[in-house]
Structure 1
Amino acid sequence: MDDLSKSGSVMARSSIIAIGASAGGVRALCSLASELPGTIGVPVLIVLHVGAQQSVLPALLNAAGPLPAKHAKDGEPLLPDRIYVAPPDRHMVVVDSQLRLSRGPKENCARPAIDPLFRSVAESYGPAAVGVILTGNQNDGTLGLFEIARRGGIAIAQDPDEAAYPDMPRSAAEHVALDYTLRIADMPKLLVHLASGKDGKEKAMPITPFQSDVGQTPELIDSIPFERPVAITCPDCGGALHSSEVGTITKFGCHIGHSYTAETMAIAQFDKMERVMREAFRFLNERAEFCLQMAEQYYPQEPDLSAAWQAASRQALDRAYKLRDLVEQDWITPEVAESRFTQSQGSVSR
């Protein structure tokens, strides 16, 4: 590996480029690949949120530009002038200049996720790493990009005004000291310059400690004290979550390995709550049907027992409809309101 020190006007040559995208990412990635040269001199690693669905991204990138693209294979060495794409349902990370794939816990509700790749690139390459965040919803990649910047690497985000889905690049801009914010059309030239050592930055971001002193005043709900739960649990597995601060970002993680930024956690928790309540509605409906069948079975031989089963069926059905009405009421969702406020403030400031 080249000398990674940066002193005076001498800039280190970047040794790896990691790119993350989500919604709207296929078009953005193809546009970027179409302008990259076939001899950029470094490996290019890409994570697109595809979940477990089939991915044809390598074929699209091969058709778009000269750099050969392929789905990464576990254990293969990194080679320059190649595009490696995280395959469906697998996290892709770099370990000892090799690609490793895993079905590890989802991060920010995604597998493959961007943060694991960016973290591994930051740890393995330090100032020689380049991280790029493109279009996408929510904020996967922000934590990983923070690590790249903290270790002296180059942090880049697509201009949110250009992004089809601006959440991810906007989150990166809010929480990471970005080196560049630019349009897709301007990225290829910059990446070539970084790979050839013609651009860079002087030093890593300092690690800034953060502490939280949130008050814990008991709250009354309809004159009844609100008993705070012992722990907040993971929407994926139900395990207890611990929170930590990474720069200006709050991160939640469980012992299994699922992790969320605060915004993603709020959305995942609400979705889980709504799903559980709808499952309860379904179970109540099923209980009503089961009790009705039992009432029909005992009628007319045991009319009193049949009547009891009928009463149980009516009770279950009544509570099912009450629960359905509760689920379908409007809910206060500050995480959605905050996202919309941030977007509107960004529009006004520009």
Structure 2
Amino acid sequence: MPTRDLIVVGASAGGVEALRAFVAGVPADLDAAIAVVLHLPAGGTSALAGILGRSGPLPTVTASDGMALRRGRVHVAPPDHHLLVVDGSARLSHGPTEHGHRPAVDALFRSAAASHGAGVIGVVLSGALDDGTAGMLAIAGRGGLTVVQDPDDALYDGMPTSVLRHLTVDHVVPSAKMGALLRDCVGLQVDTRHEPSGLVRRETAIAATNGGVHADGVTPLGRPSNFSCPDCDGNLIELDGTSKCFRCHVGHAWTAEALLVAQGATLERVLWTALRTLEEKAGLVRRMRGDASARGAELLVRRFPRTEEEAAHAADVLRHHLLSGTFTRPADVEEESAT
């Protein structure tokens, strides 16, 4: 019978510290492959493999497309590519972002669930928002083992707490103690009779695409939500059978929390643009009033002050709102120390 031989790990904000503690506690003779996604900026290169390789006993590599996932080795997702599991090998794709990220934790977890079923152990570490929850649900749905970092041990407890809110997990432990736990969990025989759901299969296929997804491939997955995608402004479909997850017609995926944060960021950008426009309008009116006064056009001179006053007042209101902290968002999930 198949055994538990694949560990997938997801982290975001605060994830470098959690991953270092995690790999430091993993035994050198671990009889399982490890695949890691840390949310990273799209540009540049990542030093995460080197950081983790120096932190624990297992050799650590940056995954490449088609690389075999070897037991006793840590495979790290590179920036701007989803890391997926297909038939025991790593698959890299430039598929649609999920929650604004590529690589994305959920994409890795879903693909592992679809490919390895109950042979997967899912691990969620420190991070903001609710990334990883949908992927852990997919793993649990196929009988896989679910492990979450103790929220009190995480620098950012959003991701672990979200999983605990939606799923009864198998183990909740500090990251430094996971290695000893996993040593006793890998190698056990598992039942692979649970088939992945159609939604998990389809979302895994979407993540594997290297380009846009036709609307016909997303629309059957749910119902229109009346929300717009922050990435492309397309209509979002609310997916059936998930905990408030959405996809647009080209495949961008969002959880409700991630969508809310992205909408706030979009609104903030729009308001800063409006503030600049109002300030420029007030400045232009002042110049036009000066020109009119120099020409002796007193009628225009009397009209301009009201327009200038209205623009300046609106700008003051917007500036006060923007500087009030209303748009304070959760911690940025891009880990600069891993790049």
Q: Same fold (TM over 0.5)?
A: yes
After TM superposition, give the deviation of residue 159 of structure 1 in Å.
Answer: 1.6
5 Å-filtered alignment, 1:296-311, equals 300-301=294-295, 303=297, 307=301
Count of matched residue pairs: 303
Map Cα deviations across residues 215-266 of structure 1 (whole Å, 9 max, x no partner): xxxxxxxxxxxxxxx922122222111213545x211221122222222222
Contact preservation (8 Å) 1:149, 1:204 = no
State yes or no: 1:196 paired with 2:184. Answer: no
After TM superposition, give the deviation of residue 297 of structure 1 in Å.
Answer: 5.6
Contact preservation (8 Å) 2:24, 2:176 = no
Which region of structure 1 is more displaced relative to structure 2, 298-307 or 258-267?
298-307
Distance 1:52 1:239 in 2: 22
Contact preservation (8 Å) 2:53, 2:60 = yes
Tell me the amino acid that sits aligned with residue 241 of structure 1.
L
Q: Which residue, out of 181, 185, 189, partners 2:172?
A: 181
Distance 1:331 1:262 in 2: 19
Structure 1: runs of 5 or more not aligned? 5-12, 208-229, 337-350
Map Cα deviations across residues 46-79 of structure 1 (whole Å, 9 max, x no partner): 1112223643221111111221112222332322
Q: TM-score scaled to structure 1, two decimals?
A: 0.75
SS of residue in 2 equivalent to 1:36: coil
| Structure that is richer in helix per residue | 2
Which region of structure 1 is more displaced relative to structure 2, 118-127 or 305-314?
305-314
Residue 281 of structure 1: aligned partner = 275
Compare relative contact order (CA 8 Å, sep 6+) and give the higher one, 1 or 2: 2
Map Cα deviations across residues 283-331 of structure 1 (whole Å, 9 max, x no partner): 2222333444455566634736964666644443333223334545686
Contact preservation (8 Å) 1:92, 1:112 = yes
Provide closer, same or farther for how the CA distance between residues 47 and 194 of structure 1 changes in structure 2, counting only shifts above 3 A. Answer: same
**Identity over the aligned pairs, expressed in percent?**
38
Residue 323 of structure 1: aligned partner = 318
Q: Which residue, out of 15, 23, 28, partners 1:33?
A: 23
After TM superposition, give the deviation of residue 270 of structure 1 in Å.
Answer: 2.2
Residue 212 of structure 2: aligned partner = none
Q: TM-score scaled to structure 2, two decimals?
A: 0.77
Tell me the amino acid that sits aligned with residue 20 of structure 2.
C
5 Å-filtered alignment, 1:217-236, equals 231-236=226-231
Tell me the amino acid that sits aligned with residue 52 of structure 1.
A
Residue 43 of structure 1: aligned partner = 33
After TM superposition, give the deviation of residue 83 of structure 1 in Å.
Answer: 0.8
Residue 107 of structure 2: aligned partner = 116
Structure 2: runs of 5 or more not aligned? 198-224, 331-339
State yes or no: 1:80 paired with 2:71. Answer: yes
SS of residue in 2 equivalent to 1:99: strand
Contact preservation (8 Å) 1:296, 1:306 = no
Contact preservation (8 Å) 1:240, 1:255 = yes
Provide closer, same or farther for how the CA distance between residues 321 and 39 of structure 1 changes in structure 2, counting only shifts above 3 A. Answer: same
Aligned CA RMSD, in angstroms, stands at 3.2
State yes or no: 1:15 paired with 2:5. Answer: yes
Tell me the amino acid that sits aligned with residue 193 of structure 1.
D
Which region of structure 1 is more displaced relative to structure 2, 58-67 or 114-123?
58-67
Distance 1:24 1:166 in 2: 9
